[in-house]
Structure 1
Amino acid sequence: MEKKYPFYFRSTVTLFGIMLFVYMLFVLKSILIPLAFAMMIAILLNPLVNKLQQKKIPKVISIVIALVVALLFVAGLMFFVSSQVAKLSSNMSALELKFSELFRNLQLWFQQHYSLSLAKQKELLAQAGDNLKPLITQTLGTVLGTLSVIVLLPVYIFLILFYKTLILNFLYEVFAERNSTKVGVVLKQTKSAIQSYMIGLLLEAIVVAALNSGALLILGVQYAILLGVIGAILNVLPYIGGLIAIALPIIIATITKEGYSTQIEILIAYLLIQFIDNNILVPRIVSSKVKINALVSLVIVLLGGAVWGLSGMFLSIPFIAVLKIIFDRVDELKPWGKILGDEVPVYHKGQLWNLRKRRKKSLSEQVTSNG
């Protein structure tokens, strides 16, 4: 006879297991982050590798060609951004001069309206700088981590694609043969969800970059294309990236233009673009296969940021989407799959149960009265 443990014991063990799992994710992030990105990119490149192999190209050469295509795409994007940054750096001295003038005017405004002396302002700024040092250190750590990801990514991607059959056989053999159909469905839907998510993100970024750059060009903001592309890249980070994307062109407009009308126009234009993105692009392009509700998306993005930083914020949505696919295929975990999804029922279970009780009661009363 199977022994059943009390609820408080099972919940404690489950909570401890989750805490241990999150701790291991945090400790091993330098290894797991590039591996997670490599798995996503390998799944994205897998159709190209398969097509090349169908044309009788050897497996190793097919993988190398797919990697070269991906690297050329990334190199082209980096060249475009760096060329735009070079234009910005050529006018950096004029921007610094304008920023210094605005900063002095701001200091005088605080001194006149709040009786805050220049010495006191410098003291507050020094304190703020001390408080920002840990954040700067963390940011530098993130940059160094990103460099390690760039070095390890091609190696991981090549090995994952090369040993794809071995990995798939392992996943099938771990489970009993009677579950092979469910395993196949989960793997197929996981591959489809990740491919849809990555391609959707790329298409969304292109459209948002075009909308951002077009709006800034119409408003006459300097470095419009650079700011538009940076805004589209930042938009990949859910919720938080959009705020930074709006702040950058407003700062540039404040430095390069007189008055504040352009800043208000930028805010209106970007809010309109965000509305289009959230209500048209994301539901139709990005979230066609990754259907996670907004509450879970926000929480999981913040949790991903707390554990893995910016990389965790990006990886959190496909990670939770894969979990939902698995939960939906396991009977005991289906309630967890429902809480992650975006389908909102009209009635909750308590209301349905009460409704059934009332119907049974009314039927029994009718039988009694007829008898």
Structure 2
Amino acid sequence: MLKTYPFYIKAPVILLGLVITVFMMSVLRDILVPLAFAALIAILLNPLTNRFERKMPKILSIMLAMIIGIVVVIAILYFLSSQVAHFFDDLESIKHKLSQLLEEIRTWLQTTFGISSQKQMQMVNDAANGSKALIGQTLSGLMGVLSVVFLIPVYTFLILLYKTLILNFIYEVFSEENKQKVAEILGETKAAIQSYIIGLLIETSIVAVMNSAALLILGVQNAILIGVIGAILNLLPYIGGIIAIALPVLMATLTMDGFTTQLLIIGAYALIQFIDNNILVPRIVSSKVQINALISIVIVLMGAALWGIPGMFLSIPFIAVMKIIFDRIDGLKPWGKLLGDNIPTEHMGQVKRFRRKKKLVTDN
């Protein structure tokens, strides 16, 4: 017979375990971040690898799939670098207009709110130091560069090569009666991550085209670059969308007179966001796992605090996997419901029935 411990004993133990886990994840950031990205890429390339394995050896299949993925990434990077070169062509005029805008803002803050120039400089320096800390956490030393050019491809290759070994290990860790449930969790996790990543890639491409087209029509400089960056930022739930709108508005402010273009940009991006949220995401992304808005924002911010910018992008797939696991384990199902986007009504009905019964008893 299993011994059940009271809540005041279990809660501190669980909290201590979470603290130790988060601490280890922070300490091992340089190892775990590329490993996490490699796992996502391996899951994404797995169907392509399986198709190649029907006609060639496993190692050649993995290498061919990875070469195709690397070629796609290099093509995207080449396209972005060409757009960045156009941006630097206009850099001097942008810097001149930016200095004028900052001077106007400084004067307005001083006359309206009484904030002195020294205080403003201190606030700017504090914000800059915070940004440097976030960037330093993201690109920590040489390991940050090695993870992109060396560790992630190596990890991806090895995960694909040893995927059968890894899956067998996971099956053998659990008892015989739980193997069916483990198989369901692994199958749903793989399907959810694959549909999530592929759907996001398609959605991001469509949003990038719409952003760039809108900015080109409005005559914004570096429209394609800003449109693509906005689509990438859109991968970050809610937070990225706000930053994506701010970039073209700032560019229009620095390169154009008046505020008509800025208002048109906000209107165009609002329409694009409406199309994205109500058409693209439900029909294209529409994975088996839906995370509610509150959890999405909190987990993205926690990912940023733990692993910097990579943590922001890894947080949503991570919490999606956790929800799949929670939904399959009886003791953790309430946590799975908390993460989900379905708002239950049965408990509210029970409360109302209890109140009606209480009222009847009181009246009698």
TM-score by length of structure 2 reads: 0.90
| 1:249 CA drift (Å) | 0.7
Gaps of 5+ in 2: none
Match of 1:30 in 2: 30
| 1:353 CA drift (Å) | 9.4
- Give the Cα–Cα distance (whole angstroms) in 2 for the partners of residues 108 and 177 of structure 1: 72
1:234–1:245 Cα contact (<8 Å) kept = yes
Match of 1:287 in 2: 286
Q: 1:296 to 1:171 in 2, by over 3 A?
A: same
1:110–1:116 Cα contact (<8 Å) kept = yes
2:215–2:265 Cα contact (<8 Å) kept = yes
- Give the Cα–Cα distance (whole angstroms) in 2 for the partners of residues 237 and 46 of structure 1: 25
Q: 1:131 to 1:90 in 2, by over 3 A?
A: closer
Q: 1:228 to 1:6 in 2, by over 3 A?
A: same
1:192-271 equivalences in 2 (<5 Å)? 192-271=191-270
- Give the Cα–Cα distance (whole angstroms) in 2 for the partners of residues 102 and 70 of structure 1: 43
- Give the Cα–Cα distance (whole angstroms) in 2 for the partners of residues 294 and 126 of structure 1: 34
Q: 1:350 to 1:149 in 2, by over 3 A?
A: farther
1:327–1:336 Cα contact (<8 Å) kept = yes
- SS at the partner of 2:138? helix
Q: 1:115 to 1:140 in 2, by over 3 A?
A: closer
Match of 1:52 in 2: 52
- Give the Cα–Cα distance (whole angstroms) in 2 for the partners of residues 257 and 82 of structure 1: 24
Match of 1:82 in 2: 81
The CA deviation string for residues 220-272 of structure 1, in whole angstroms up to 9 with x for no partner, is 11111111001011111222211211111111101111111111111121122
1:290–1:318 Cα contact (<8 Å) kept = no
- Give the Cα–Cα distance (whole angstroms) in 2 for the partners of residues 325 and 110 of structure 1: 50
Match of 1:368 in 2: none
2:121 to 125, 150, 153: 125
**Does residue 190 of the first structure (1) align with residue 189 of the second (2)?**
yes
- Give the Cα–Cα distance (whole angstroms) in 1 for the partners of residues 108 and 20 of structure 2: 52
| 1:108 CA drift (Å) | 5.2
Q: 1:282 to 1:99 in 2, by over 3 A?
A: same
2:230–2:241 Cα contact (<8 Å) kept = yes
- SS at the partner of 1:348? helix
| 1:109 CA drift (Å) | 5.1
Q: In percent, how many aligned pairs have the same letter?
A: 54
2:289–2:323 Cα contact (<8 Å) kept = no
Number of aligned residue pairs: 358
* Range with bigger deviation, 35-44 or 93-102: 93-102
| 1:216 CA drift (Å) | 0.7
- Give the Cα–Cα distance (whole angstroms) in 2 for the partners of residues 192 and 168 of structure 1: 15
Match of 1:148 in 2: 146
Q: 1:105 to 1:5 in 2, by over 3 A?
A: closer
- SS at the partner of 1:334? helix
Letter in 2 for 1:21: T
The CA deviation string for residues 106-126 of structure 1, in whole angstroms up to 9 with x for no partner, is 455556x44979xx4266325
- Give the Cα–Cα distance (whole angstroms) in 2 for the partners of residues 348 and 311 of structure 1: 38
- Give the Cα–Cα distance (whole angstroms) in 2 for the partners of residues 2 and 82 of structure 1: 61
- SS at the partner of 2:4? coil
Letter in 2 for 1:67: M
Match of 1:68 in 2: 67
Letter in 1 for 2:252: A
| 1:128 CA drift (Å) | 2.2
- Give the Cα–Cα distance (whole angstroms) in 2 for the partners of residues 272 and 21 of structure 1: 42
- Give the Cα–Cα distance (whole angstroms) in 2 for the partners of residues 246 and 36 of structure 1: 29
The CA deviation string for residues 87-135 of structure 1, in whole angstroms up to 9 with x for no partner, is 1111212222233333444455556x44979xx4266325522552242
1:238–1:313 Cα contact (<8 Å) kept = no
| 1:354 CA drift (Å) | 4.6
Q: 1:314 to 1:30 in 2, by over 3 A?
A: same
**Does residue 19 of the first structure (1) align with residue 19 of the second (2)?**
yes
2:94–2:254 Cα contact (<8 Å) kept = yes
- SS at the partner of 1:18? helix
- SS at the partner of 2:220? coil
Match of 2:306 in 1: 307
Mark the structure with the bigger radius of gyration. Answer: 1
Letter in 2 for 1:166: L
Q: 1:93 to 1:351 in 2, by over 3 A?
A: same
Letter in 1 for 2:69: A
Gaps of 5+ in 1: 363-371
Match of 2:134 in 1: 138
TM-score by length of structure 1 reads: 0.89
Match of 1:338 in 2: 337
- Give the Cα–Cα distance (whole angstroms) in 2 for the partners of residues 114 and 336 of structure 1: 48
Match of 1:366 in 2: none
